[in-house]
Amino acid sequence: MRKIRRRAIRTLASVGIALMLAACGFSPTGSPWDTKLDPSAQAVVIFGVSAQNNPTVGTLSVGWAKFDPATREISPSRGFSWWYTVNPIDPGAAREVQHVVFVAEPGHYILSHARIDEPNFIGGAINTAFFKGLMPHLAQSSRGTSFAVDRASAGGLTTTARVAEGSTAPRFALEAGETVYVGTYSIDFRAQPFRLVGTGRDDAAARAELAQYPFGGRAIVWREARAP
C-alpha cells in the first residue's frame, strides 16, 4: 500500500509540473484579463512564431532583447520571449504559427535568441529543475542560438553583451502608446546552430490574438522587423 501511495504522489506531482510547463505555450504574458497597459509609458507588441523540425519533448523559446543602437549594448532582461512546451502526443503542433502579445517599454528591440530545454531522460517534459538538488541525473540539457550577440567578444547574453557588427538579426523600434505587429518568425530547431528560415505576416491572426486583451480594440501598426 505504501508503494502504491508513493507512486500515486509521484505521478500527481509529475503531472502537475508538466501542466504548469504546458501553460507556457498558451499564455506567455499571463492571463489576458490581468495584463495592464500604461499608454503613456508602454507599448504593445504582437509577433508570431512557428517551430520547424522541433523535438518531440522539451520547452522552446524565441526572444527579443532591448538594445541601444548607439552603443549596441543589449539588455536581455528588458526584452520578452515566447515559450512553448512541446506536447509529446502532438509535437507537430509547434509548427503552426502562434501569435503572442506583450506589453513592453518604448525603445529598440532585436531578435536575440532561440533556445530549447530538453529532458535527458524518458518520461516527458517535466520541470527537472524542481528535482535538481535531489536527483541531478534528471537535469535538462539546454542548447540555443544567439541571433544578435557576438559571443566571441561579448561572452554571451549578459548585461554587457553587444549586438555583433554586421548582425542581420531583425530589429524594430517602439514608441509609447503604439500597438505594433512585427510579423511571424519560423525557426529551424534541428539546424546547428538554430536558424531563422522564414518570416511572414497574418494581420487577421494578430487582431484575433490582441482581441483577447483588455486593450484589444487598439489600432495595430504593421512594422517589419529587419536588419538595417
pLDDT (tens digit, 9 = 90+) per residue, 150-187? 544 444 444 467 888 888 899 999 999 999 999 999 99
Residues 6 or more apart from 151 whose CB is under 8 A from it? Answer: none
Q: What is the pTM for the complete model shown?
A: 0.76
Residue 177 DSSP code: T
Give the model confidence (pLDDT) of 97-126 as tens digits: 999 999 999 999 999 999 998 776 544 444
- DSSP H/E element including 22: helix 2-23
pLDDT bucket at 31, cuts 50 / 70 / 90: low
In angstroms, the Cα distances linking 66 to 109, 142, 145, 187, 216 are 4, 23, 17, 20, 24
Closest to 78 measured CA to CA, from 110, 37, 47, 50: 110
Is there a contact between 90 and 186 (Cβ–Cβ < 8 Å)?
A: no
Beta partners for residue 117, in sequence order: 59, 142
Give the model confidence (pLDDT) of 37-58 as tens digits: 999 999 999 999 999 998 888 8
Pairing verdict, β 107-119 and 171-174: antiparallel
